[in-house]
Amino acid sequence: MKTTTQKSSANGSNGKSQNSKSTETNSGSNHSTSSQLEKLFEDELKDIYWAEKALTKAIPKMIKNATSQELIDALQNHLGETEEQISRLEQVFELVGKKAVAKKCEAMAGLLKEGEEIMEATEEGAMRDAGIILAGQKVEHYEIATYGTLRTFASIMGMNEAADLLETTLNEEKAVDEKLTEVAEAAINLEAAETEE
Ligand SMILES: [Fe+2]
Ligand SMILES: [Fe+2]
């Protein structure tokens, strides 16, 4: 805010000396912006690292509760991807020169708790499957938002290798989200066909 005000006054009727002063202020602020971005990036890495680890425990519970074979297959496949995503995150930590540390992600903990409540509150079969898909898609959307931002941060900081790794994971999260939409549509159509009989 302060920088913007100074800059706009420098762009007005003021002389060169004030312009150079404004440049100094900007470079100072850019410096702290980049270290803040780095800090934000690392904090968010720790957060999603915790989330992915929690998912390797939560997805098997979802598989146990699911009845649709298509849903079971999609979850099983994503469990394998999630394990790869964890090692991809470890590679990103290494690229940043930091130890891979997990920090509890309250948002993911909440989403997973909600998912468990949905499974408890629904009857096994199509309805519980629909609940698992709902909970699963909320998780995927959280991951898509996180990886999208992390990839952008990595690009801004010129960390292309990290950005590529994060994008690979981002694409997997997007693909499973679409897959879950397909499974939901198929399940609902099947249910409707069974009702007609
Ligand atoms: Fe993931
Ligand atoms: Fe995921």
Give residue 85 CA to ligand 1 midpoint distance, Å: 6
- Per-residue pLDDT of 38-52, as tens digits, reads 999 999 999 999 999
Q: Which ligand is nearest to the CA of 111?
A: 2
Query: Which pTM was predicted?
Result: 0.81
Residues 60-114: pLDDT tens digits? Answer: 999 999 999 999 999 999 999 999 999 999 999 999 999 999 999 999 999 999 9
52 CA from centroid of ligand 1 (Å): 5
Q: Tell me which residue of 195, 176, 175 sits closest to 187, measured CA to CA.
A: 195
Helices of type H across the chain: 2-10, 16-65, 69-96, 106-121, 126-156, 160-196
CB 145 within 8 A of CB 48: no
Q: 66, 52, 78: which is closest to 174 by C-alpha? A: 78
- Ligand 2 centroid–CA 176 distance in Å is 7
Q: How far is the CA of 8 from the centre of ligand 1 (A)?
A: 44
Superfamily of structural domain 35-196: Ferritin, core subunit, four-helix bundle (1.20.1260.10)
Domain residue extents for the chain: 35-196
Nearest partner of 105 among 66, 155, 51, judged by Cα: 51
Residues with CB in 5 Å of ion ligand 1: 52, 82, 85, 143
134 exposure class (CB count in 10 Å sphere: 0-12, 13-18, 19+):
middle
Q: Say how many Å lie between the CA of residue 97 and the centre of ligand 1.
A: 22
pLDDT-derived band at 32 (thresholds 50, 70, 90) equals confident
Distance 84 CA to ligand 2 centre (A): 11
